[in-house]
Amino acid sequence: MTDQRNGRTSTRRVPIPSGRETSIAGAVARFAITGLAGLGLLTFLAVQLLSSRGTTEAIRDAKALTQVAGRGIAAPYLTPQLLAGQPEAIRAIDGAVRTRLLAAPVVRVKIWNGTGRIVYSDEPRLIGARYPLGASELHALRTGGVDAEVSDLSRPENRFERQYHKLLEVYYGMRAEDGTPALFELYQRFSSITASGNRVFRTFFVPMIATMVLLELAQIPLAVSLARKVRRGQRDREELLQRAIDASEFERRRIARDLHDGPVQDLAGVSYTLSSAAGEARAVDPELAAALEQTSRQARESIRALRTLLVDIYPPRLHSEGLIAALSDLLSAFTAAGVETMLDADPQLRLPPGVEAVLFRVAQESLRNVLEHAHAKTVNVEVRTPEHHALLEVRDDGCGMDLSAIDEEEHFGLRMLEGLARDSGGRLELESVPGNGTAVRLAMPLD
């Protein structure tokens, strides 16, 4: 329900069911599509998670490789002579690095001392150069820890690695033979890291998707069974509703007939008798005659009221001549009250009796509200039948109302109309602007 105050349009809507009966195939298709959408979302999340997890695993493996290579290959060569830059020591470690370490995915090895000088690299132009060490590198150097990061190839110490585009550098804090700290650094191609990640991803992805699809397929028979039950329940409810409507119509007819044949006829008899008695008494006792005439008029008033009630309870023209004739009857009361009316509908229009009954009841209640509350100058009633629907609109130019201020308990008629429309598979919409009239619209499916 929407509510716009301060003179703007406010509407009150009742949700409309798409049809009178839920199709099993449609329900199962909706279930399957929802399931597939969920599956898609889960797959997307799983892809993200597995990719991230795979990359994390690959970086962990790269760290382990660096530690093993540092201890098992570089450590024996971390001598005071190497740290002092002696060519013999450099040649010795270079042989070991080139034969034991430099193979895919490792593309570069650097060993730094604590001052930021490169004491060894397989790229000889770097040996002896000094570059400032970053905070995390200094931390690894001091603590003997291991850390990894994507290489910043714009830095001068990495200028010889730019041909590799993207590298992961892992640095590991070690101690030379004499206890001097040194930083052992391995550069690995990042493509090998993502490839490792993808391997982890592929390992889990296919079984996971297969499991999800099987789960989805296993749920389809359950959904079919559930949809059948829902449909059975829906049919039972519709049958009950139809029976209730039939019973209500029967009761209305019976009450109308009883009123017509009983109290109305009796009152008519009483009225004639009183009129006749008044005529006879006029010469003898004018006062009594006047009293009798007055009582006779009251009886006739009561007969008129009862006949109006009869039309309300069971509009005979609705059944014999159709909705438009019955609506025309309803509007005649407005003409008598000096309200201009317009009925926009095909006079020959005939709709299924159930639909005509609902349209008539809604029009009747709406027009009653207009007559009693709206102080309208004109009231328009329109009936159209576009695209398998019957549409009724009752619009007046009266005082309107603030829908947000409607007291639900007091507006029983409105709630009854909403309930009637909903139970019949239709939709009721109320639009009102305070000071500028009210429109009640009803849409009923015809299929």
Partner 1 sequence: MIARLHPDVVVMDLAMAGMSGVEATRRVMTQRRPPAVVALSGSRELMRDAIAAGAGQALLKEADLTELLAAIRLVAARW
> Residue 96 Cβ, how far from partner 1 at the closest point, in Å?
5
> Residue 105 Cβ, how far from partner 1 at the closest point, in Å?
11
List Cβ neighbours of 290 (8 Å cut-off, separation of 6 or more).
278
**Of residues 68 and 342, the one with the C-beta less far from partner 1:** 68
Cβ neighbours of 70 (radius 10 Å): 25
Residue 124: DSSP 8-state? G
> Residue 158 Cβ, how far from partner 1 at the closest point, in Å?
25
Cα separations in angstroms, 248 against 245, 314, 316: 5, 11, 15
> Residue 75 Cβ, how far from partner 1 at the closest point, in Å?
7
**Of residues 71 and 237, the one with the C-beta less far from partner 1:** 71
Beta bridge partners of 431: 11, 439
The alpha carbon of residue 421 and the mean position of all alpha carbons in its chain are separated, in whole angstroms, by 24
> Residue 26 Cβ, how far from partner 1 at the closest point, in Å?
57
List Cβ neighbours of 268 (8 Å cut-off, separation of 6 or more).
303
> Residue 49 Cβ, how far from partner 1 at the closest point, in Å?
27
Binding site for partner 1 (CB under 8 A): 64-65, 67-69, 71-73, 75-77, 79, 92, 95-96, 100, 103, 177
Geometric angle at alpha carbon 132, from 148 and 137, rounded to 5°? 25
**Of residues 177 and 216, the one with the C-beta less far from partner 1:** 177
List Cβ neighbours of 105 (8 Å cut-off, separation of 6 or more).
188, 189, 191, 192, 193
352 vs 314: CA distance, rounded Å: 17
Which residue reads 């929802």 in tokens?
Answer: 34
